Amino acid sequence: METQKSKVYFSDLRALPGTSLPEKLKKLIRRAGIGDIDFDKKMTAIKIHFGEPGNLSFLRPNWAKAVADVVKELGGKPFLTDCNTLYVGRRKDALEHLESALENGFSPFSTGCQIIIGDGLKGTDETYVPVKDGELVTEAKIGTAIMDADIFISLNHFKGHEATGFGGALKNIGMGCGSRAGKMEMHNSGKPTVDQERCVGCRTCSKNCAHGAISFDEHRKASIDHTKCVGCGRCLGSCNFDAIYNENSSAVKELDMKIAEYSKAVLDGRPNFHINLVIDISPYCDCHGENDVPILPDIGMFASFDPVALDQACVDACNAQKPMPGSLLDDRMHEEGFCDHHDHFVNTTPDSGWEYCLEHAEKIGLGTRQYELITI
């Protein structure tokens, strides 16, 4: 029996005089069927990433306002949300998180709706949600404000990621909606190790470790204490010398599977809708306090009720593009001994394995990788 394809709607980024990209996004999500959801007086979580201060590739507040405006037009009560982070940075508690959001331009005045940090002041306001068909997670730890919402919308910046290959809908939902303890549960299957021959003692890794797990010997070589390490991968992403690697070959697979299972916990049993903006495709997550040159050109906006099909469509669209000259992807492809995986995200971060997440999400009934692309 042939699997029924999910509909994924696409619009490019052309905007002629007299039009605008926010209006184009509104048109896209209306055509994609967001109005089929009963929003009447329903509290609607719009999950977004506010961006670590210093990073300039996160989605501008204008995009969030476009979505919030449509929700309000349909009778809903939208709010923007994200949960606190596990790593060192300025979004690890609600006060700093809100300050960061404001610094990056998110406010009720710029977006037309309130901001609520999903897992509370210290990242401990969580709800235990059973995961139906979960293989690795029995109960997901999700930010309570997110679970209290009647309707869930994800507004996602589709880009590269140092651990999962790319970050799209499932990454923003699964990892993003986990409380701090939930994030630790997803990450703790993989503990990175230092290749001391490559380590130059710059200490960038230790500055990015929130758990004091990295120390240096008399030769300025780093080592990681696995009893303190939670496996968040921030050190791996911050090392410019490829001196940190994950020696647990199953860790990436387990991380991706847990993200899929956390996503199912968030979405099960209530209306949900998803938007991926494939722009400013930086090689690493917006959790970084910087952003590198995009690895691929801007592509457009995608929307669907199916987050699995949505992410698959975006991956396919990205892999149809040519790498940006001077980007990290371009650098990787010109390294000595380069092995072409015929996949831009794996070529950028060879230790990642993004397909595990989509495969598992499909297996547990979160969606299908088969899609029909409808251009608006």
- Per residue in 332-348, pLDDT tens? 999 999 999 999 999 99
Least confident of 52-56, 57-61, 161-165, 248-252: 248-252
Question: Could you give the CA distance from residue 286 to residue 292 in angstroms, rounded to a whole number?
Answer: 10
DSSP code at position 114: E
Give residue 1's pLDDT: 55
Contact in structure between 284 and 165 (CB atoms under 8 Å): no
Q: What is the CA radius of gyration of the chain?
A: 20
Question: Could you give the CA distance from residue 321 to residue 353 in angstroms, rounded to a whole number?
Answer: 20
- Rounded to two decimals, what is the model's pTM? 0.90
Residue with tokens 């709010």: 79
Q: Which residue in 288, 254, 367, 365 sits closest to 90, CA to CA?
A: 288
Q: Report which of residues 276 and 162 the model is more confident about.
A: 276
Collect all residues with Cβ–Cβ distance below 8 Å to 295 and sequence separation of at least 6: 160, 281, 282, 283, 323, 324, 327, 328, 329, 330, 344, 348
Asked if pLDDT for residue 223 goes beyond 60, the answer is yes
Residues 262-272, mean pLDDT to the nearest whole number: 98
Mean pLDDT, the chain, as a whole number?
Answer: 95
Give residue 231's pLDDT: 78
CA distance readout (Å), 15 to 31, 70, 234, 296, 314: 17, 19, 37, 20, 21
Asked if pLDDT for residue 3 goes beyond 80, the answer is no
DSSP string, 118-141: TT-TTS--EEEEE-TT-SS-SEEE
pLDDT digits (tens, 9 = 90+) for 93-131: 999 999 999 999 999 999 999 999 999 999 999 999 999
Asked if pLDDT for residue 14 goes beyond 60, the answer is yes
